[in-house]
Amino acid sequence: MAFFTSEYECKLDAKGRIVLPAKIKSNLPEASGNELMIRTGFEPCLVVYPLVEYKKIFSKISGLNEFNEEYRKLQRNFFRGNMQVELDNMGRFLIPKSMLKYAQLEKNVIVVGMGNRVEIWNPERYQHFLIKDQNEFSRLAQKYLNE
């Protein structure tokens, strides 16, 4: 199982490649090798999964009944925004241009460990999705961690 946490400031190179932070790279499951899946997020960011973690989600979504219109919409929209990438010897991977555009990624990016996955954000856009009120943060934690 993957275990990603923390927030990292990173840079994209001129070709649109990013070096995974050492703490993220060291927590990649061996079963995934150097293979990662990257997808467009529900929010305006990119989501990166080790292949072994992505396969769990793939199984659930691809297993939905194709004769149900809502399931087909979910499958179509989920799978169209996915790309398999491979880490090179320096721990970098290339982000496709369409994904750079979707997440408005330029030179500086924020990489956020999200448990079994990693998000890649434009730093300015990222700030809009953070909880600024500690009371709201506390309320959400209480609501969802006391279930």
Give the pLDDT confidence of 8-25 residue by residue, as tens digits.
Answer: 999 999 999 999 999 999
Please give the mean pLDDT across all residues of the chain.
93
CB 137 within 8 A of CB 50: no
Amino acid identity of residue 81, one-letter, is G
Taking only the tens place, the pLDDT of each residue in 44-58 is: 999 999 999 999 999
What are the sequence ranges of the domains in the chain? 7-122
Architecture label for domain 7-122: 3-Layer(aba) Sandwich (3.40)
- d(CA 45, CA 100) in angstroms, rounded, equals 9
pLDDT tens per residue across span 37-89: 999 999 999 999 999 999 999 999 999 999 999 999 999 999 998 999 999 98
Distance CA 57, CA 74 (A): 12
Rounded CA gap, 115 and 104, in Å?
A: 24
- Name the helix (H) or strand (E) containing 123: helix 123-128
